[in-house]
Amino acid sequence: MTTSHYIAGRWVEGQGSDCISVNDPALGQPFAELMAASVEQVDQAVAAARTALPAWKSTGASERAAYLRGFAEQLGQRREALITLQMRNNGKPRHEAEIDLDDAIATFGYYAELAEQLPVKNRDVPLAAPGFTARTRLEPVGVVGLIVPWNFPLVTSAWKLAPALAAGCTVVLKPSEVTPLVEQAYGQIADTLGLPAGVLNIVNGKAETGAALSSHHGLDKLSFTGSNSVGSQVMRSASAQCRPVTLELGGKSAIVVFDDCDVDQAVEWIVAGISWNAGQMCSATSRLLVQDGIADALLQRLQAALENLRVGNPLTEEVEMGPLTSQAQWLKVASYFATAREEGLQCLAGGKALDRDGWFVSPTLYADVPKDSRLWAEEIFGPVLCARRFATEQQAIAEANDSRFGLVATVCTADLERAERVADALEVGHVWINSVQAVFVETSWGGTKGSGIGRELGPWGLSGYQSVKHVTRCLG
């Protein structure tokens, strides 16, 4: 794994000072190593993207669409290898790894269709003043840096890569150092398809590599998905260049369950919202607000459901939840268990690391958590659910909105008029009603407040990589 960087259409060895150890979280052991890219190699990747930009943005929209469909097809041909790698490096159960791959394939297919609609670049703009004409032109924003996280590799990169390439941008992709291997497939596919050199570049590394990319003067835009702490650093780097950014950051999302809801269905939606990817989701609905009339019955069944959740190594067992992806995340979640004990929280299920090899924790439920608890307010990024009771719809909305984050929410009720009313009142970017967290490429993804800037997916994802130009002509 020494030739781990794809720069200007060639695989090259890392020349940085960091050695990246790639781990199997179910065993807590490394299975691959690679050398990080140097700062000079980041420079080379950006330069390659800059060189490739004029020809790529002039490439016909139908040709760019053909490349995108090629990515979708090639991902499908690598299906079993990519699924296995997601299971081994991320600890994802098979059904989750399969959905991730299908999501990436669908994303490239969707943006291929949007790319074919791009020939209509010029639109006339009616003017009130006589003697002038005006038109609007959409152009690629230029060279973009893409920094993606470890919890959904392959997927998050597809959400950024596909619209950027569709718009006519050239890119430098930096995967997470925790999960760097699966994104190598994009470079391999670029080789297979004959994608012009420099259109896609991949550099691996730790914080030094990310900082070199996010502060690089050769970028025209940066798109980052990750933690708020790193996101703020990325935003500071971008501000020095007055460069646009898209930031998809953290969340502390609420699931609101009214007392007319079927208890068994509610338990299914709640468990999915906190246990998918072992709770390592910015969209995890980790704050449960349950109406008084149903609270006791729901918490009792929820306790049983979490205690019976099958947790284990996805490569050797039939499991519903795998390990946490890194030791650092395992230690972080364990520290919140300690905080819960210090705060005297009522633990109905879990609340501990599992006594076995690997970075496993138990699915956890705390009841009647006070609003001043750290566990209620802070993003834990693990399968840790905190519950509170409410009496009225107005109280539920107020408590759900009482957060510095605003990514997603879920509403569970048999009263569909109330569901729509509450959804409209929630200060978030995406709301599910009586559903698991189904994400479709045609919809938007992003949040309000501290959950980020901008939107991904749908036509909004494409527009994030486009620049608007107006041309006004005097007729006199």
Which pLDDT does position 118 carry in this prediction?
85
For 92, list phi and psi in degrees, rounded to 5. Answer: -80, 135
Give yes or no: residues 398 and 466 share one domain: no
Q: Pinpoint the alpha helices (H) of 244-291.
A: 263-275
Q: What is the pLDDT at residue 476?
A: 80
Looking at residue 45, the DSSP 8-state letter turns out to be: H
Residues 51 and 105 in one domain: yes
Q: At 312, is the secondary structure helix, strand, or coil?
A: coil
Examine residue 303 and state whether it is found in any structural domain, yes or no. yes
- CATH of residue 108: 3.40.605.10
Tokens of 159: 């959400």
Residue 160 shares a structural domain with residue 273: no
Q: Compute φ and ψ for 20, nearest 5 degrees.
A: -95, 120
In a domain, 174, yes or no: yes
Residue 109 lies in a domain: yes
Domain assignment of residue 446, yes or no = no
Secondary structure element (H or E) that encloses residue 389, with its range? strand 384-390
- Regarding whether 170 and 276 lie in a shared domain, the answer is no
Tell me if residue 249 falls in helix, strand or coil.
Answer: coil
By residue range, what is the domain housing residue 373?
254-440
Total domains, the chain: 2
pLDDT at 258: 98
What CATH number does the domain containing 290 carry? Answer: 3.40.309.10
Tell me what pLDDT residue 122 has: 73
Shared domain check, 40 and 183 = yes
Rounded Cα distance, 384 and 359, in Å:
15
Cβ pair 254, 409 in contact under 8 A: yes
**Residue 120: per-residue pLDDT:** 65
3-state SS, residue 146: strand
3-state secondary structure of 408: strand
State whether 412 and 468 are in the same domain: no
Residue 405 tokens, joined: 């984050």
pLDDT at 124: 87
Specify whether 271 is located in the same domain as 179: no
Gap between the Cα atoms of 2 and 62, Å rounded = 36
Residue 445 lies in a domain: no
DSSP annotation of 85 reads H
Q: Does residue 342 sit in the same domain as residue 380? A: yes
Q: Measured between alpha carbons, how far is 292 from 298 in angstroms, rounded to an integer? A: 10
Digit-by-digit pLDDT tens for the chain (476 residues) are: 456 899 999 999 999 999 999 999 999 999 999 999 999 999 999 999 999 999 999 999 999 999 999 999 999 999 999 999 999 999 999 999 999 999 999 999 999 999 998 876 678 889 998 999 999 999 999 999 999 999 999 999 999 999 999 999 999 999 999 999 999 999 999 999 999 999 999 999 999 999 999 999 999 999 999 999 999 999 999 888 899 999 999 999 999 999 999 999 999 999 999 999 999 999 999 999 999 999 999 999 999 999 999 999 999 999 999 999 999 999 999 999 999 999 999 999 999 999 999 999 999 999 999 999 999 999 999 999 999 999 999 999 999 999 999 999 999 999 999 999 999 999 999 999 999 999 999 999 999 999 999 999 999 999 999 999 999 999 98
Residue 354 is assigned to a structural domain of this protein: yes
Q: 448-449 and 254-257 as β-strands: parallel, antiparallel, unpaired?
A: unpaired
Computed on alpha carbons and rounded to an integer, the radius of gyration of the chain in Å comes to 23
- List, as one string, the DSSP characters of 150-206: SSSTTHHHHHHHHHHHHHT-EEEEE--SSS-STTHHHHHHHHHHTPPTTSEEE---S
Predicted confidence at residue 321, as pLDDT, reads 98
Specify whether 43 is located in the same domain as 165.
Answer: yes
Determine the pLDDT at residue 121: 64
- The residues annotated as belonging to the active site are 248, 282
pLDDT at 123: 83
State how far the Cα of 419 lies from the Cα of 233, in Å rounded to an integer. Answer: 38
* Element housing 12 (H / E): strand 10-12
Q: Residue 207 and residue 374: Cα distance in Å, rounded? A: 27
Specify whether 91 is located in the same domain as 33.
yes
Task: Say if 239 falls within a structural domain.
Answer: yes
What is the rounded CA–CA span in Å between residue 325 and residue 332? 12
Say which DSSP state 402 is in.
Answer: -
Which are the contacts of 284, defined by CB distance < 8 A and separation ≥ 6? 251, 253, 273, 274, 276, 381
Shared-domain flag, residues 243 and 264: no
For residue 134, the one-letter residue type is A
Q: Which pTM value belongs to this model?
A: 0.96
Domain identity same for 268 and 406: yes
In a domain, 208, yes or no: yes
